[in-house]
Chain A
């Protein structure tokens, strides 16, 4: 496994090179033409990695550009993709959206960034906060009024806590914790739960002075049991299948006693990700009754129930209910929200801006179908429910404490928010 990547390209949809950066001499620039011919103009590429001859192309498609890594060796595929995605994240934080236009407008900046985050094919520093200290644009310059002394920057970029400066000062010390859970659900026609799990994310915005040492506690079953008070608390304890941490968290310590301790970066970062599969509280229940009384009609009755405390609210609930491909029109009636047939996607979109806990509502609809010679039965893709519910965690996870220790001994204020959401991952077959 020699170097990881030997070249980096960004292409637009026509296959024109927007950015090209070669790290090793054994690749020629013309290699980009090969990619254009083989991937961009080839409609049935079925793999994110293509090896042509001895050159491998790793590509990620985002908006209207392809971000591509090229190597001629047995590189780590996971690393290349991780890097490409990291590049996308970094670009976003610099110019909000990565697309053809923004790449063209910011190409100097992109070259500058590439120079810093990858050297000779080895990824270097990819911490956004650190990068922003010395790679600046007009907008970022104004944000950070004073340009740092460059020796400080370099210390930070390589330091043991490369993610944090030592001289951060705030008048008011605050930390915000956001627990965001993405609910994955796959429910069968019969209403059996085939798969229900939660991908959780704990985001933190730390505005803390000095070098604070933080300790973070969840109602994680293993931790609670270890403390020996399972009798009282294990009922509402959550079993986490797996957690992954930001690099600031001391993994060795977590491994030995499951405690989460770290020195946070300044500002916003993702502290941890976790996964939980047991005792998932599904925020929405769906009862579907879909019939095809004749060849030219489908009748839907969809009953939606908000399955959480009535004090809470769900926002932006959107149901996407598939219709057959030969649908000509849909009449839909809903008790709450709005339902509309979107012919381009072959779905009825039912939008409910706000839904209270324990509330129920129903959609009835009829889809008219055009006559067709197509014999194949309609495959009935699953109904998809998107939502976000504030102050609710589907896994039942709670933050038990966040302790901040700093040598000056200041008091800090902490805030916790919870959010459960789904974006294409909550699917119900019918």
Chain B
């Protein structure tokens, strides 16, 4: 039922392409990287609450969250660009949070690429090798191999200013991986590209990650990007971890309404619990009645508040014999190929979103229904920022 096919390989597939020059590369330079309660405060404001995370070699981990959630802080602390205020970072048993960025040996791809404008593509990529005193012949060999991997062999003599956005992005990646770093950090690397290029580079990044045997920590605010790229996701909210899990975990079993809203549960209804037992839970309010599944950490209590999260694609027009969730009038109908996206208004004035393969016209009165296992009951109140979150309905399969 999941529309996501997570990349299940914890161990990357070694490249078999001859031009990649990566065939003989070891699977990963990293055993395990442990973040033990790392935290960053600015005076009284804590940008990142203690974060525990273990990244295994070859893994692709995404840090996901809206802007200001602390994900860039976490990344910069890991890179050493921002000193920690608590916690430690341990790389294969060796503590590294005391090292300056240049001694950690991580590769980093910056949001604005941060290419050296006065150096050619080749010199940009070779910079790290030069700093480490790698010999000339060895440098040339490795730079050539990496440039071939990112398909930039032809552009080696150009300056960054002469390249397109996508090419600059590839240079930035090449520069970060030429050192064969144990960990590559990527800070929203696709946010400066247009939509089509973003899709293309997304597959490129995944391909490079696998062919080069990288371990990658990827920061993004785009859940679609995170779901399609990562083996594991860390969702941050206001500096705290909301949930850690595989894309399928998060997509199917969000831990709280924040994560649900992020994962495309577009209908978040504040209702009141009428019954809660082992068989299931029911809630009512605002002219609606729902049977659903209790999830999350807290306990449902009869008469207590509940947030019911339902995906638009799980909401359907009720059959003649099944109990309806409620009545709503279709207001906006968008054509999306085989399905229609319908925005309908309930009698109480709440907006609900559903998908329909049948014909719906604006003004039609709809009776909607949902399967009990597809309606998630969260004891917490709904996030106020739902409207600001983009739906994740169209996750590519």
Partners in one complex: no
Q: Which A residues have a C-beta under 8 Å from some C-beta of B?
A: none
Interface residues of B (CB under 8 A from A): none
